[in-house]
Amino acid sequence: MSDTMDIHAILRNLPHRYPFLLVDRVLECIPGERIRAIKNVTINEPFFPGHFPHHPVMPGVLIVEALAQAAAVLSFRTMNEQPDDGSVVYLAGIDGARFKRPVTPGDQLLLEVSITRRMREVYKFACTASVDGQRAAECEIMCVRRPID
């Protein structure tokens, strides 16, 4: 079963908050399989004044972070749980990151993440981010859920 999520549902399924929440809407989430989400990129993002003042570009590391946040939503939906104060999903690894085109204010970043492997609370994902059908970034990421001491 596929479901969509507005910002209120995303806030229930991710512990991130402004200015670090990088998922605005979930278009499709099939627990155990894949998620499609969007990040609306605006000139009001807190990183643009410094990256770069004369030509604003979304940092690649934040594109990967947006993909990781979409992966975390997929992880929680797959486990049929929501984040709590007792655990956190960490980004544990990034492989094969490639950046194909700049992401600039006004772009809508489509985040597509698929589970490729799951072992207990460790997940591996294939990830792509695109703008208007053009691939902006791709990578494989690994996330792990850990208790907070």
Q: Which of 8, 16, 51, 54 is catalytic?
A: 51
CATH fold group of domain 3-147: Thiol Ester Dehydrase; Chain A (3.10.129)
Would you place residue 2 in the very low, low, confident or very high pLDDT band (cuts 50, 70, 90)? confident
H or E segment and range at residue 100: none
For the question of residue 51 being annotated catalytic, the response is: yes
HSE value, Cβ hemisphere, 13 Å, CA-based, for 67: 29
Q: Which pLDDT tens digit goes with each residue over 59-118?
A: 999 999 999 999 999 999 998 888 888 888 889 999 999 999 999 999 999 999 999 999
Answer with the residue of higher pLDDT: 1 or 19: 19
49: which DSSP letter?
A: G
Could you state, in order of their start, the residue ranges of all structural domains in the chain?
Answer: 3-147
CA 68 to CA 63: how far, in whole Å?
Answer: 9
12: which DSSP letter?
A: H
